[in-house]
Structure formats: structure tokens, C-alpha cells
Amino acid sequence: MFSGGYITYIIITMIFAGIGSLVSKRLKSKFKQYSKVPMTGGLTGAEVAAKMLSYYRVDDVKIVQGQGFLTDHYNPATKTVSLSPEVYNGRHVSAAAVASHECGHAVQHAEAYAWLGFRSAMVPVVQVASRMQSVIFMAAIALASSALGPTVMLAAICVFGATTLFAVITLPVEFDASRRALNWLDESRVATGVQHAGAKDALWWAAMTYVVSALSSVAVLGYLVLSYLGSRD
């Protein structure tokens, strides 16, 4: 029964891949739009990041310039805020929004934000699960009609369950980082009026990429669970 539903799995993944692509394009469009709106103070993304970390008295985090486009991230293991060249050197709303968002993660770490700690603890498990997903999924298809079918399917559910849990946990982490960023931009008066509205809009679309990813994972996991239950009838 599971092997016969493989087309359903493909359809689910293609639908969410298409939605994800549209959201990603929208995010890039918003970044480009607000990169044309200069910051009143003329601060670069790196300078915005430094000011926010200083404001929250987080003095053990490094700010470095990374590579690529929209590759910005915070690494809890090395306590490093890595900003892409466009953000690190940019003197516009997009740069300020992204830089302050990544610093929001650094502040979460400094304040022992529970969801960030939970997500960080799951990273090793998710890395293994991600590498195993395709192999276990194909094995579940190949062995669907055998005596091992239900066991392999259950293993697939566990593996996909781990990555799905990680995707879901990521949501409060990302939304909270954006909330912290926007609050600080407003309180510090670094971004006001149109600038603050632009930063909020850009960060909302960034958050939507994580929402789509989480929904995709939940949909696939739900399909696997229903297929497993159906195979036992």
C-alpha cells in the first residue's frame, strides 16, 4: 500500500517545493526592495550588530563577514554572528534587519532562551537523521510488501519525526529573534517610521521560509504515519 502511494509523496514534496520557491523569491525581492532604503544614521549591518550586542551587554560574541547571499547566521558553538557581505557592509534597511535578527539569536543564547537550547541540542541527531532519510525511505518502499515492511516504515517515521520536530522548534526561535530585533530597532531609534516598517516586512518574509519548511515536514510525516496505519489494516 505504501509503495502504491509513492506518487502522493512526490506530489506533496513538489507542492511544498513550489511554495518554498515562491516564498524564497519573495524574500529576495523584499531584500532588494529595502536595500534601496538607506539608514538615517548611515550604519552598516556590522555596526548595527555591534550596537545591539553592546546594548544587551553581550560582549563574548564575534561579528564576522561570511560569504554568499543571505547566508547570515548565528553559531552558538563558536558564539559568532556571520553576516553575508551585502549585510555586513550594507547601509540600508535590509542589512539592519538581517543583522539585528542574527543578533537576536545571540541575545537568546546569552539569556538561555529555552527553545534555542533545545534546537541546538537536537542538531547532532538531526544531522544523522537527515543523512538517513532517503535511504530509509527507499528501503520502506522496497520492503513495503515484506514482513519487514512495518518495521522499516516505523524507522522512517522516527527519522522524519526528528527532522520535523526540529523544523517546528525552529519557528518560535526565529519569530522570537525577529521580535527582539524589531523591538531593539525601535527602542534604540536605529530604525523608525518607514525604516522600521520595512525591516518588519523583510523579517516577516524571512520567517515564512521557515513556516513553509515546517509545514512541508509535517505534511510528509503525516503521510508516512497514515501510510503506516493503513498498511496494518
Instruction: Please give the positions annotated as active site.
Output: 102
Residue 144 grid cell: 513495503
Exposure class string for 87-101: b at 16+ Cβ within 10 A, else e: bbebbbbbbbbbbbb
Residue reference for cell 525552529 = 170
How many CA atoms does the CB half-sphere of 141 hold within 13 Å? Answer: 13
Residue reference for cell 552558538 = 76
The span from the CA of 56 to the CA of 62, in Å, is 14
Residue 15 grid cell: 507542492
